[in-house]
Structures are given as C-alpha cells and as structure tokens.
Structure 1
Amino acid sequence: MRVLLFALLALISLHFSPVMGQESAPSTPAQSVKPGINQKFLDPELDVNEWIKRFEVESREVFRGRQQIVKQLKLSPGNRIADVGAGTGLFLEPFSMAVGNKGWVYSLDIVPKFVERYEKMADILNLTNVTPVLCGQNDIRLAPGSIDVAFICDVYHHFEYPAASLASIRKALVPGGQLILIDFERIPGTSREWTLGHVRAGKEVFRKEVEEAGFEFVEEVKLPAFQENYFLRFMRK
C-alpha cells in the first residue's frame, strides 16, 4: 500500500524522503485560533460518503469552478504540488494530469479516512504520481524544498495553528514557489450567517497572516464561478 510504503521509507531514510516522518513534527502549540473546528473531521467514525455528498456538488463554488481553478494555477509538466487539506480528493486527478509523469502530487489531510481514499483513487485511476500524506494540524510533513506549489482551497479557515502550518508550507516550497489561497469572503452584513459563524476572519486578515509568514502577495484572481470565494496568489520569498 502506498501510504505504508512511504511511511517505511521515511523511517528508513528520512533525509532523502520528500515525506517527513510524524516524529519530525513540532509539538502542538498550546493555543488554537479556533478550538474544535476540526473535531468532526477527527471522528474515527467519519463517513467519507457523507462528505463527498457535501463537497462534490454543483452548489459548491470550488466544485463548480474546479476547471477554472486548475487553469489559473498554471501548472506545468514536472511541477510538484501539495494539495493541503485535500478533503475528498476533488483535485487529485486534474492535478495529476496537469503535472504529468515527471511531476508529483501530494494529497494531504489530517483525516485518515480521506488519506485512505486518495490511495484508492490513485490505484483505481492508475495515477502513479500521487502520494497520500497524513499531515499534522500544525505541520504538513513534507521535506524542505520538495514542492513548487502549495494549494489551500476552502481549508485555511480550518488551520488551528496557522503560523506553524504556514511555516511548514514555506519550508516545503522552493524559493519563488507559489502558494494559492482560496477561501470564503467574510463580510459582516453581506456574507451568509454560516460564513460569519464558521470562518474566523476575512480576506485581509488571512492575507496579512500569509505575508507575515514569508510570502509576497502577487495577485487576486477573479473567477466567474466565484461569488462567495476568493483566489489569492502568493510567492515564497
């Protein structure tokens, strides 16, 4: 099994593996910025099919606009991309196709059952350039300089320890690599009540946090499919 194989490789030769062993992650910081936001995802009885029905529907903007999103990433054959918080694996196949046989896709999540799904998807679709990774809540567990692109889609507001997570992402990215942040607009008086209660901060706050973590803001990309979401591009300094 692919997940077990990479776990063994990490233990045998951590220095050379693109996937860091769990023992390399720093201890969890004492203070979460949004305690309990990931509790339902950490339920050992989590039903993956329930989340597929929630995430992979036309009413969800990132699902409806997935082709627009992939196009705007401007991936090239040979690129290495980390889908940080890949959820049900919506972008696993299109990313695999975009980077080609010489590229690589790391599908990351803190949910073991989601990670198991990535492995099954890669096997069924015969995608040989995909590595499922069970990451930590404050560390994506990838080796330094192992990726060219970090993709964070509708997930950043679930980061309980954003400073630590961003530090690990920056470490994994090559200098000049891009970070894509897609999240919900949070505008009091305009956004839905669900968004106001669920998403801890608006675009300006999230942008500031990413910039303070060592990234340069490049642009905001406007997508036709987006009304509630935004797409920000950053570059690793």
Structure 2
Amino acid sequence: MLNQVSLARKINDHNQEKKTENTRYHFGQSSPDGIGKFYMGREISHVMGHLAAGWLERPEREQEERVSLLVEALNLKVGDKVADIGAGTGYIARQIAVLIGPEGIVYGVDVQPEMVKLLTDNMKQYHITNVKGILGKIDDPNLPINSIDLAIMVDVYHEFSHPYEMIRSICKSLKPGGRLVFVEYRLEDPSVPIKRLHKMSELQVLKEASPHPLEWVETIHTLPRQHIIIFKRVR
C-alpha cells in the first residue's frame, strides 16, 4: 500500500510539474534564429551544433573575447570544483583546469555526445587530467548535489530549451554559497556583431535568475563583448 501511495504521489507531482511547465513557457511564431518557445518575454535561440565546433577553437577568439580575462575574473582557487555548462570543445575548461590545479576538477557538461567526445579528445591531446566530460540532459546537467564551487555558462544559457529547469538543477549542484556565472554577449551594445537572440541584457539575466535561490553578487564589464554576471546560492 505504501508503495502504491508513493507512486500515486510521484505521478501527481509529475502531472503538476507538467502543468506548471505549460504555463511557464509560451509558444509562437519563431524568428529565423529562434525555436518559437518563449520564456519571460525572450525567445529561446537555436543551439549551435557540434558541426560548428571549430568556431569555438578559432585562433582569434582570445583577441575578440579576452577569455583569459574572463577566467581571471572568476577568482578561482586551487582545489575548486567547477562546472563548465555547455563546455563544447573544452576551450574554457582547459584554462580553468590549469588555475585550479590537479587537486581541483572541471566538469565539462554538454548535451551533445559529439561535443563531449571532442572535449575528451582535446583533454587527452593537451595532457589535461582534471577535466571530466559529462553528458547532460536538456533540463539537468547531471552533476553531483551540493558539490560545485562555481558553475559557469559561457554564451550558452540563451540556447537552453528548458532554462528554468536547468538553472534549478544547477542550483542543486552548487554548494551553499557556491557561485553561478552567466557570460552573455551584451544585448545593450548594438556594436557587438552577434545575432540578437544570441545576446542577453543584464536585466533579462537578472529577471530569469529571480525565481531561483540565487543572490546577485556583481556584474563585471571588463570584456570587450560580453558581461560577466555573478550570483551565489543562498539556500
């Protein structure tokens, strides 16, 4: 009887979650770069597929985006556990891995198996042993609970098909006081040469973080094209 009651509760919880999801998101006419799914007034963009992985490793990326400045701004410590959500080929994970040393670990999460393989192959090529590729789901990064010092999303959050569920899951993986970092191309700056749906304003990021147990810490504007928006888990 207890098992039947537990099963009934799980079914009810699932049905309630689906009902809430149906009211959380709205669907409409898609733009050329969007999927026609809207969250908090923002259309979600298409995902950059693994066939475009070479763009992540382009030689001019450091000059255009100053990724080294981004990694420096994170104030990481030796031994930190970091989650790179939407890690792609591991371009940023490699730099983080050096800073946190062999005592630390980077979980390189991606929802595309091809990207996880590229990341793993790149780590072998660069002889980096403290980066672990993780195949995530569209609503869950598959990270250990209460274990992450810092989770970072670089130019990927705007592509999440289930942004609410994904951030909820990431928050569960953070240690109390752990930090969550959004790095997005600045929508406020028309000179940034990126398609509109692949940019986000600081205000929109703050808005979409608001349902979660997150407290805004600071926004860093040192990068030429992106803002670094940092939150911490508060409960």
Q: Could you tell me the TM-score, scaled by structure 2's length?
A: 0.75
The amino acid across from 1:140 in the alignment is: P
Q: CA deviation at 1:212?
A: 2.2
- Could you say if the C-alpha distance between residues 130 and 64 of structure 1 is closer, same or farther in structure 2, counting changes exceeding 3 Å? same
- With a CA cutoff of 8 Å and minimum separation of 6, indicate the structure with the bigger relative contact order: 1
Name the counterpart of 2:195.
195
Q: Does 1:37 align with 2:43?
A: no
Name the counterpart of 2:227.
230
Q: Does 1:95 align with 2:96?
A: yes
In 1, Cα distance between the equivalents of 2:201 and 2:99? Answer: 31
Note the residue ranges of structure 1 that are not aligned, 5 or more in a row.
Answer: 1-25
- Could you say if the C-alpha distance between residues 62 and 158 of structure 1 is closer, same or farther in structure 2, counting changes exceeding 3 Å? farther
Q: What SS does structure 1 have at the residue aligned with 2:79?
A: coil
Q: What SS does structure 1 have at the residue aligned with 2:187?
A: coil
Q: Does 1:137 align with 2:138?
A: yes
Paired positions, count: 199
The amino acid across from 1:37 in the alignment is: H
- Could you say if the C-alpha distance between residues 137 and 156 of structure 1 is closer, same or farther in structure 2, counting changes exceeding 3 Å? same
In 1, Cα distance between the equivalents of 2:65 and 2:186? Answer: 17
- Identity across aligned pairs (percent)? 27
The amino acid across from 2:90 in the alignment is: G
Q: What SS does structure 2 have at the residue aligned with 1:219?
A: strand
Q: Could you tell me the TM-score, scaled by structure 1's length?
A: 0.75
Q: CA deviation at 1:171?
A: 0.2
The amino acid across from 1:155 in the alignment is: V
Maintained 8 Å contact 2:154/2:182:
yes
CA offsets 1:67-92 (integer angstroms, 9 cap, x no match)? 10111111111100000001221112
In 2, Cα distance between the equivalents of 1:130 and 1:235? Answer: 23
In 1, Cα distance between the equivalents of 2:79 and 2:135? Answer: 23
The amino acid across from 1:75 in the alignment is: L
Name the counterpart of 1:174.
175
Q: Spell out the pairing of 1:30-179 with structure 2 (5 A cutoff).
A: 31=25, 32-33=37-38, 34=43, 37-38=46-47, 41=49, 46-47=50-51, 50-52=52-54, 54-57=55-58, 60=61, 64-179=65-180
Bigger drift between 118-127 and 69-78 goes to 118-127
In 2, Cα distance between the equivalents of 1:147 and 1:62? Answer: 30
CA offsets 1:150-195 (integer angstroms, 9 cap, x no match)? 001111111111110000000000000111111022238x356853
Maintained 8 Å contact 1:142/1:172:
yes
- Could you say if the C-alpha distance between residues 56 and 77 of structure 1 is closer, same or farther in structure 2, counting changes exceeding 3 Å? same
- Could you say if the C-alpha distance between residues 137 and 79 of structure 1 is closer, same or farther in structure 2, counting changes exceeding 3 Å? same
Maintained 8 Å contact 1:180/1:232:
yes
Bigger drift between 200-209 and 64-73 goes to 200-209
Flag the structure with larger Rg: 2
Maintained 8 Å contact 1:185/1:202:
yes
Note the residue ranges of structure 2 that are not aligned, 5 or more in a row.
Answer: 1-16, 26-36
In 1, Cα distance between the equivalents of 2:56 and 2:63? Answer: 9
In 1, Cα distance between the equivalents of 2:114 and 2:63? Answer: 22
In 2, Cα distance between the equivalents of 1:71 and 1:126? Answer: 22
CA offsets 1:106-158 (integer angstroms, 9 cap, x no match)? 00111111100111122222222111011111111112112110001111111
